[in-house]
Structure 1
Amino acid sequence: MRLILLGPPGAGKGTQSARIVEQHGLPQLSTGDMLRAAVAAGTPVGLKAKDVMASGGLVSDEIVVGIVADRIEEPDARGGFILDGFPRTVPQAEALDRMLAEKGIGLDAVIELKVDENALVDRIAKRVADTLARGEPVRKDDNPEAFKTRLVAYRELTAPLSEYYAKKGLLRVLDGMQPIDQVTAEIARILQPQPA
């Protein structure tokens, strides 16, 4: 099972990814984590990324796709994976499709969590309060202004992925404003093997 979860920041992708990991034993592949691991391991792609990151630049789509390509070859990802934070743009999705096609594999589903953006601001405030109550540090981007900036970037860059994957017949849209357990149940229904 190879999945992508889409949705704006705060939509619940992290929560649902963790539940899919727990239920299906799939690794959640975060491009940020993979970049750092590839740099630390000194892989050829990691060395390219290190140079770009050291100069303060953004890592190219080619490098990110290379890191994803290397990571999905590892034993824990051979049976499937959840992509987290990638693709973020249609060109990245196209590059991902080419790389997967070269490996003879494809995506099984792209699940989009649709949410009310105004309600997301309240959700982020609650997340901050819960994090502080647990005595944990709050993410730098968990404040209303930074969050609104992230929403604008999502709308401009990432939202077009919905149409891209809908045209491929892969997109499944869920109401991300439902209770967490309800969203989990709907995702579980989507991921159930379909009768042949």
Structure 2
Amino acid sequence: MARDVVLLGPPGAGKGTHARILSERYRVPHIAAGDLLRSNIKEGTPLGKRAKSFVENGKLVPDQLVIEMIEKRLQDSDVAQGSLLDGFPRTVEQAKALDQMLSEKHRKVRIAVEFNTSEQKLIERLSGRQTCPNCGANYHVRNIPPKREGICDLCGTALTVRTDDRPDTIHERF
């Protein structure tokens, strides 16, 4: 039986952190909508090219683009037994599309978990978040700092701040 789990909540609520833990423990692929968007943009896929300006400007990517990316990812063989969906669905249209995608595979969402926290806490988390562009490791300047400031512990690459984690775009994302 496929195990499809949806993790919902605003940016910085902890969806990705918990999804990584659950993914390792239960050996279920973690599909982060935001990471999927960024990788499509980085790879220059047709969907990534269409989504690029939205992400760079801190805007929500139109439902249809996100749905197409998720649908493509759900066709991969590693998710045949289920997935942890992080940040998808975000809208009613996306939820309906997910139900349709899964029902075509004789699957359904087994559980949905909503993460909530205060806007102030979310802003603190997002504004201090750093990411390794090489290996994808995540850090936070106060909560989970790297051993050497600005350098990834795992691969030694300089850490970056995501475009959508900059103060001017955080409020727009909410």
TM-score range, shorter chain: 0.5 to 0.7
Percent identical: 35
Q: Which residue of 1 aligns with 2:164?
A: 141
Contact 2:4 2:110 survives alignment (8 Å): yes
Structure 1 residues 57-66 or 14-23, which shifts more?
A: 57-66
Q: Larger radius of gyration, structure 1 or 2?
A: 1
Structure 1 residues 118-127 or 89-98, which shifts more?
A: 118-127
Contact 2:16 2:32 survives alignment (8 Å): no
> What is the CA distance between 1:52 and its match in structure 2?
3.8
Structure 2, unmatched stretches of 5+, are 55-59, 130-139, 152-158
Moved over 4 A (4+): 32-41, 56-60
State how 1:24-63 maps to structure 2 within 5 Å: 24-34=26-36, 36=39, 47=46, 49=47, 52-53=50-51, 61-63=63-65
Write the distance in 1 (CA, Å) between the matches of 2:116 and 2:36.
Answer: 27
Q: Which residue of 1 aligns with 2:88?
A: 86
Contact 1:38 1:67 survives alignment (8 Å): no
Structure 1 residues 10-19 or 57-66, which shifts more?
A: 57-66
Deviations 1:65-117 (A, max 9, x none): 34433422322111110112322211111111122122211001111111111
Q: Which residue of 1 aligns with 2:23?
A: 21
| Distance verdict in 2 for CA 1:50–1:7, change over 3 Å | closer
Structure 1, unmatched stretches of 5+, are 152-196
Write the distance in 1 (CA, Å) between the matches of 2:40 and 2:125.
Answer: 31
TM score, norm. by length of structure 2: 0.66
Q: How many residues align?
A: 145
State how 1:1-196 maps to structure 2 within 5 Å: 1-34=3-36, 36=39, 47=46, 49=47, 52-53=50-51, 61-127=63-129, 129-130=141-142, 133-135=149-151, 136-151=159-174
